[in-house]
Every structure is written in structure tokens, then in C-alpha cells.
């Protein structure tokens, strides 16, 4: 296989991966938007303690899956831009065009969608922690609820720190501000 064929095969494979990753991102969004409230409703309706208390963790897991998929999407785009498009002289590739400075903010919608997703899941997380803590107080008492609340807060702080470290990567294919 020569270099051009190799680049072509890499490009086609990565574009297919981008397509599949975008589909997984929207499935993750849909799952989170529907399943989190539905799980809470069903857990309260059928008095399933474990589910009520684990919904804040479910919210974090859904957000991590979204972050992982979004980062995978950005890695594919970055690789296409840096290692495939740069090998073809005289052609402005899609990923390079998207990152052209001053053209216009081509990725604003992606960026804002990502920010809104995290805002929504922050609200879901805080709401689910509130409901789980209220449930824990009623069922297990103040001490158990305080311990559980401490665990939720620690997980939430860890996730916010993780998110702040990775949010720029999840909204751009640029490397380290380049």
C-alpha cells in the first residue's frame, strides 16, 4: 500500500468513526435527558432505595460518557487535520478550514451545545443530590444522609475539576491554544 492509499484509508476510517461517534453523542444526550428523570420517577413510584440514591452517580456517568465521546470526536478531527490533510498539498481540508482563524467562529454551535449539556447535567446532578439527600434523611436519618451528601459533594467537586481541565479539549480540535 502506498502513502496516498494509506492516507485515503485512514481518512475514510476516521470519517466513519466521526459519524459513529456523533451518533453515540446524540444517543448519550437522549439517554441522559430521558432516563435520568424517568429513573427518578420510577424509583420513587416503586420505592427502590438503591436507584434513588444512585441517580446522582448515574448523572455523572452519563456526563463522563458524553465527555469521552466528545473528546474522541475531537481527537479524530485533530488527527485528520494534522496528519492527513497536511500531507495533501494545495488542498484546504475540512478540519483545517474549520480551524481557520478569523474566518468566522465555525465551532460556536458545538461549543455552546457542549456547555449547555454540562449546565443541564449540573442541574440534574444538584437536583438528584437534593432528592437523594432528602430521601436519605427520611429513611436513614441525619447522620447517614450527611455522609451520603458528603460523598455526592466530593464526587461533584472531582467532576467539576475534571471538567474544567478538559473542557477546552472537548470544544476544539486545536492543540494547547495553537
Which residues are within 8 A (CB) of 144 and not within 5 positions of it... i.e. 6 or more apart? Answer: 136
pTM above 0.75, yes or no: yes
- Given a cut of 70, whether residue 100 has pLDDT beyond it is yes
Domain limits, the chain: 3-171
Tell me how far apart the alpha carbons of residues 71 and 106 are, in angstroms, rounded to a whole number: 18
DSSP assignment of 44-79 equals: HHTT-HHHHHHHHHHHHHHHHHHHHHHHHHHHHHHH
Say what the pLDDT of residue 109 is: 77
- Mean pLDDT confidence for 116-125: 90
Tell me how far apart the alpha carbons of residues 67 and 79 are, in angstroms, rounded to a whole number: 18
**pLDDT tens digit string along 21-48?**
999 999 998 999 999 999 999 999 998 9
Residue 175 gets the label, from left (phi > 0), alpha (psi -120 to 50) or beta, of beta
Mean pLDDT (the chain) is: 88
Cell of 24: 453515540
Is the Cβ–Cβ distance between 73 and 113 less than 8 Å? Answer: no
Percent of the chain whose predicted confidence (pLDDT) is above 70: 90
Tell me how far apart the alpha carbons of residues 30 and 42 are, in angstroms, rounded to a whole number: 18
pLDDT band per the 50, 70, 90 thresholds, residue 144: very high
Say what the pLDDT of residue 178 is: 45
pLDDT band per the 50, 70, 90 thresholds, residue 169: low
Amino acid at each position: 500500500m502506498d502513502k496516498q492509499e494509506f492516507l485515503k484509508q485512514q481518512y475514510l476510517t476516521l470519517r466513519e468513526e466521526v459519524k459513529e461517534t456523533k451518533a453515540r453523542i446524540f444517543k448519550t444526550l437522549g439517554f441522559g435527558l430521558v432516563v435520568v428523570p424517568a429513573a427518578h420517577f420510577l424509583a420513587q413510584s416503586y420505592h427502590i432505595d438503591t436507584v434513588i440514591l444512585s441517580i446522582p452517580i448515574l448523572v455523572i456517568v452519563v456526563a463522563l460518557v458524553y465527555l469521552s465521546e466528545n473528546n474522541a470526536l475531537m481527537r479524530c478531527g485533530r488527527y485528520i487535520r494534522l496528519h492527513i490533510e497536511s500531507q495533501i498539498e494545495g488542498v484546504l481540508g475540512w478540519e483545517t478550514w474549520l480551524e481557520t482563524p478569523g474566518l468566522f467562529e465555525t465551532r460556536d454551535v458545538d461549543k455552546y451545545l457542549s456547555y449547555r449539556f454540562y449546565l443541564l447535567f449540573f442541574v440534574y446532578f444538584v437536583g438528584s443530590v437534593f432528592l437523594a439527600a432528602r430521601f436519605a434523611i427520611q429513611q436513614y436519618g441525619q447522620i447517614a444522609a450527611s455522609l451520603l451528601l458528603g460523598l455526592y459533594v466530593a464526587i461533584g467537586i472531582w467532576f467539576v475539576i475534571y471538567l474544567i481541565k478538559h473542557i477546552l479539549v472537548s470544544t476544539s480540535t486545536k492543540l494547547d491554544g495553537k
